[in-house]
Amino acid sequence: MSPADRDTRFAWEAMDDRAAMLRDIEEEVALTRREIGKEALQERVMAAMAKVPRERFVPESHRVLAFRNGPVPIGHGQTISQPYIVALMSDLLEPRPDSTILEVGTGSGYQAAVLAEVVRQVYSVEIVEALAQAAGERLARLGYGNVTVRHADGYHGWKEHAPFDGIVVTAAAPTIPQPLIEQLKPGARLVIPVGLPDCVQMLKVVEKLTDGSCSSRDVLMVAFVPLTRASPDP
Protein backbone atom coordinates (compact mmCIF):
# COMPACT_ATOMS: atom_id res chain seq x y z
CA MET A 1 0.00 0.00 0.00
CA SER A 2 1.38 3.41 -0.98
CA PRO A 3 1.76 6.23 1.61
CA ALA A 4 -1.09 8.12 -0.10
CA ASP A 5 -3.36 5.07 0.15
CA ARG A 6 -2.46 4.64 3.82
CA ASP A 7 -3.28 8.29 4.53
CA THR A 8 -6.63 7.96 2.77
CA ARG A 9 -7.48 4.80 4.68
CA PHE A 10 -6.50 6.43 7.97
CA ALA A 11 -8.66 9.47 7.20
CA TRP A 12 -11.74 7.28 6.62
CA GLU A 13 -11.06 5.28 9.78
CA ALA A 14 -10.65 8.52 11.75
CA MET A 15 -14.07 9.70 10.57
CA ASP A 16 -15.68 6.53 11.90
CA ASP A 17 -13.71 6.76 15.15
CA ARG A 18 -14.68 10.41 15.60
CA ALA A 19 -18.37 9.52 15.26
CA ALA A 20 -17.93 6.83 17.91
CA MET A 21 -16.14 9.36 20.14
CA LEU A 22 -19.09 11.75 19.91
CA ARG A 23 -21.47 8.95 20.89
CA ASP A 24 -19.25 8.15 23.89
CA ILE A 25 -19.36 11.80 24.98
CA GLU A 26 -23.16 11.86 24.73
CA GLU A 27 -23.38 8.66 26.77
CA GLU A 28 -21.08 10.08 29.46
CA VAL A 29 -23.18 13.25 29.62
CA ALA A 30 -26.30 11.14 30.11
CA LEU A 31 -24.61 9.12 32.88
CA THR A 32 -23.37 12.22 34.72
CA ARG A 33 -26.28 14.59 34.05
CA ARG A 34 -27.08 14.96 37.76
CA GLU A 35 -23.50 15.90 38.64
CA ILE A 36 -22.95 18.30 35.74
CA GLY A 37 -26.46 19.77 35.90
CA LYS A 38 -27.37 19.42 32.23
CA GLU A 39 -28.80 16.91 29.78
CA ALA A 40 -26.58 17.88 26.84
CA LEU A 41 -23.52 19.97 26.06
CA GLN A 42 -23.66 23.07 23.87
CA GLU A 43 -24.06 22.31 20.18
CA ARG A 44 -21.13 24.58 19.37
CA VAL A 45 -18.86 22.59 21.67
CA MET A 46 -19.97 19.27 20.21
CA ALA A 47 -19.45 20.63 16.69
CA ALA A 48 -15.91 21.61 17.67
CA MET A 49 -15.27 18.11 19.05
CA ALA A 50 -16.46 16.69 15.73
CA LYS A 51 -14.25 19.03 13.71
CA VAL A 52 -10.89 19.03 15.50
CA PRO A 53 -8.69 16.12 14.30
CA ARG A 54 -7.84 14.55 17.68
CA GLU A 55 -5.59 11.99 16.00
CA ARG A 56 -3.21 14.82 15.05
CA PHE A 57 -2.66 15.69 18.72
CA VAL A 58 -1.44 12.31 19.96
CA PRO A 59 1.92 10.65 19.29
CA GLU A 60 1.88 8.43 16.21
CA SER A 61 2.68 5.43 18.39
CA HIS A 62 -0.58 5.97 20.28
CA ARG A 63 -2.90 6.99 17.45
CA VAL A 64 -4.85 3.75 17.76
CA LEU A 65 -5.96 5.12 21.16
CA ALA A 66 -6.75 8.64 19.96
CA PHE A 67 -10.54 8.34 20.04
CA ARG A 68 -11.08 6.10 23.02
CA ASN A 69 -12.82 7.79 25.94
CA GLY A 70 -9.73 7.96 28.11
CA PRO A 71 -6.51 9.94 28.51
CA VAL A 72 -3.56 9.20 26.20
CA PRO A 73 0.13 9.73 27.09
CA ILE A 74 1.87 12.47 25.11
CA GLY A 75 5.30 12.29 26.73
CA HIS A 76 7.04 14.22 29.51
CA GLY A 77 4.70 12.65 32.06
CA GLN A 78 1.69 14.42 30.54
CA THR A 79 -1.52 13.24 28.87
CA ILE A 80 -4.21 14.44 26.50
CA SER A 81 -7.47 14.36 28.45
CA GLN A 82 -10.32 12.04 27.53
CA PRO A 83 -12.74 13.52 24.98
CA TYR A 84 -15.65 13.74 27.43
CA ILE A 85 -13.60 15.82 29.88
CA VAL A 86 -12.32 18.13 27.13
CA ALA A 87 -15.88 18.70 25.93
CA LEU A 88 -17.26 19.15 29.45
CA MET A 89 -14.61 21.65 30.54
CA SER A 90 -15.10 23.62 27.33
CA ASP A 91 -18.86 23.69 27.93
CA LEU A 92 -18.54 24.71 31.59
CA LEU A 93 -16.65 27.83 30.54
CA GLU A 94 -19.83 28.99 28.76
CA PRO A 95 -17.74 30.26 25.83
CA ARG A 96 -19.01 32.95 23.47
CA PRO A 97 -17.81 33.72 19.95
CA ASP A 98 -16.19 36.95 21.20
CA SER A 99 -14.52 35.36 24.26
CA THR A 100 -10.82 35.46 25.07
CA ILE A 101 -9.83 32.36 27.03
CA LEU A 102 -6.70 31.46 28.99
CA GLU A 103 -5.66 27.82 29.11
CA VAL A 104 -3.16 26.66 31.70
CA GLY A 105 -1.46 23.47 30.51
CA THR A 106 -1.26 23.38 26.71
CA GLY A 107 -0.09 19.77 26.52
CA SER A 108 -0.53 18.63 22.94
CA GLY A 109 -2.73 21.63 22.07
CA TYR A 110 -5.97 19.66 21.70
CA GLN A 111 -8.03 21.52 24.31
CA ALA A 112 -6.81 24.82 22.86
CA ALA A 113 -7.87 23.73 19.37
CA VAL A 114 -11.36 22.80 20.56
CA LEU A 115 -11.73 26.16 22.30
CA ALA A 116 -10.35 27.98 19.24
CA GLU A 117 -13.33 26.69 17.27
CA VAL A 118 -15.81 28.42 19.59
CA VAL A 119 -14.08 31.61 20.83
CA ARG A 120 -12.22 34.57 19.37
CA GLN A 121 -8.81 34.03 20.99
CA VAL A 122 -7.05 31.42 23.13
CA TYR A 123 -3.88 32.13 25.10
CA SER A 124 -2.25 28.94 26.35
CA VAL A 125 0.60 28.48 28.82
CA GLU A 126 2.72 25.32 29.08
CA ILE A 127 5.55 24.77 31.56
CA VAL A 128 7.24 21.95 29.60
CA GLU A 129 9.22 23.75 26.90
CA ALA A 130 9.27 20.83 24.46
CA LEU A 131 5.49 20.46 24.66
CA ALA A 132 4.94 24.21 24.28
CA GLN A 133 7.08 24.34 21.16
CA ALA A 134 5.53 21.23 19.60
CA ALA A 135 1.97 22.34 20.38
CA GLY A 136 2.56 25.82 18.98
CA GLU A 137 3.94 24.38 15.75
CA ARG A 138 1.12 21.83 15.51
CA LEU A 139 -1.61 24.41 16.03
CA ALA A 140 -0.07 26.73 13.45
CA ARG A 141 0.24 23.87 10.97
CA LEU A 142 -3.45 23.05 11.43
CA GLY A 143 -4.47 26.65 10.86
CA TYR A 144 -5.33 27.73 14.42
CA GLY A 145 -4.12 31.29 14.08
CA ASN A 146 -6.24 32.39 17.04
CA VAL A 147 -4.18 30.34 19.53
CA THR A 148 -1.01 31.77 21.08
CA VAL A 149 1.20 29.39 23.10
CA ARG A 150 3.76 30.50 25.67
CA HIS A 151 6.36 28.52 27.63
CA ALA A 152 5.90 29.65 31.24
CA ASP A 153 4.59 28.71 34.69
CA GLY A 154 0.82 28.73 34.23
CA TYR A 155 0.18 29.23 37.94
CA HIS A 156 0.77 32.93 37.32
CA GLY A 157 -1.56 33.07 34.31
CA TRP A 158 -0.75 35.55 31.54
CA LYS A 159 -1.18 39.00 33.05
CA GLU A 160 -0.38 40.89 29.83
CA HIS A 161 -3.60 39.62 28.20
CA ALA A 162 -5.85 39.71 31.27
CA PRO A 163 -8.63 40.01 32.17
CA PHE A 164 -10.04 36.87 30.55
CA ASP A 165 -13.59 35.81 29.71
CA GLY A 166 -12.74 32.36 31.04
CA ILE A 167 -9.81 30.28 32.28
CA VAL A 168 -9.42 26.51 32.01
CA VAL A 169 -6.73 24.57 33.86
CA THR A 170 -5.87 21.13 32.50
CA ALA A 171 -3.85 19.89 35.48
CA ALA A 172 -4.77 19.46 39.13
CA ALA A 173 -3.78 22.12 41.65
CA PRO A 174 -3.86 21.51 45.41
CA THR A 175 -5.56 24.90 45.81
CA ILE A 176 -7.01 27.45 43.38
CA PRO A 177 -4.21 29.79 42.20
CA GLN A 178 -4.99 33.35 43.31
CA PRO A 179 -3.37 34.93 40.21
CA LEU A 180 -5.94 33.16 38.02
CA ILE A 181 -8.81 34.52 40.09
CA GLU A 182 -7.35 38.00 39.75
CA GLN A 183 -7.14 37.63 35.95
CA LEU A 184 -10.82 36.71 35.51
CA LYS A 185 -13.32 39.31 34.33
CA PRO A 186 -16.37 39.82 36.57
CA GLY A 187 -18.94 37.23 35.51
CA ALA A 188 -16.27 34.95 34.02
CA ARG A 189 -15.56 31.36 35.00
CA LEU A 190 -12.50 29.37 36.02
CA VAL A 191 -12.77 25.62 35.40
CA ILE A 192 -10.13 23.69 37.33
CA PRO A 193 -9.50 20.27 38.91
CA VAL A 194 -8.52 20.71 42.56
CA GLY A 195 -6.85 18.05 44.67
CA LEU A 196 -3.61 16.30 45.52
CA PRO A 197 -1.39 14.40 43.05
CA ASP A 198 -2.11 10.68 42.58
CA CYS A 199 -5.55 11.14 44.14
CA VAL A 200 -9.02 11.66 42.78
CA GLN A 201 -9.67 15.39 42.42
CA MET A 202 -12.78 17.55 42.20
CA LEU A 203 -13.55 19.46 39.02
CA LYS A 204 -14.70 22.88 40.14
CA VAL A 205 -16.31 25.88 38.48
CA VAL A 206 -15.38 29.19 40.09
CA GLU A 207 -17.35 32.26 39.02
CA LYS A 208 -16.11 35.77 39.73
CA LEU A 209 -18.95 38.03 40.85
CA THR A 210 -19.35 41.70 40.00
CA ASP A 211 -18.11 42.76 43.46
CA GLY A 212 -14.89 40.79 43.00
CA SER A 213 -15.86 37.92 45.27
CA CYS A 214 -16.20 34.36 43.96
CA SER A 215 -18.69 31.53 44.11
CA SER A 216 -17.62 27.92 43.59
CA ARG A 217 -19.38 24.67 42.88
CA ASP A 218 -18.20 21.09 42.66
CA VAL A 219 -18.99 19.34 39.40
CA LEU A 220 -17.40 15.91 39.10
CA MET A 221 -14.69 13.68 40.51
CA VAL A 222 -11.77 13.51 38.04
CA ALA A 223 -8.16 12.36 37.78
CA PHE A 224 -5.57 14.75 36.29
CA VAL A 225 -1.80 14.96 36.28
CA PRO A 226 -0.56 17.55 38.81
CA LEU A 227 -0.05 21.19 37.94
CA THR A 228 3.73 21.56 37.63
CA ARG A 229 5.34 24.63 39.13
CA ALA A 230 8.59 26.32 38.16
CA SER A 231 9.15 27.34 41.78
CA PRO A 232 7.29 27.05 45.09
CA ASP A 233 4.80 29.68 46.17
CA PRO A 234 6.42 32.85 47.48
Catalytic annotation, residues: 81
Q: In 188-217, which positions are buried (b, 16+ CB within 10 angstroms) versus exposed (e)?
A: bbbbbbbbeeeeebbbbbbbbeeeeeeeee
Amino acid sitting at position 10:
F
Any bridge partners for residue 191, and if so which?
168, 205
Three-class secondary structure of residue 160 per DSSP: helix
The CB density around residue 133, as the number of other CB atoms within 10 Å, is 13
The CB density around residue 117, as the number of other CB atoms within 10 Å, is 19
Cβ-contact 119, 86 below 8 angstroms:
no
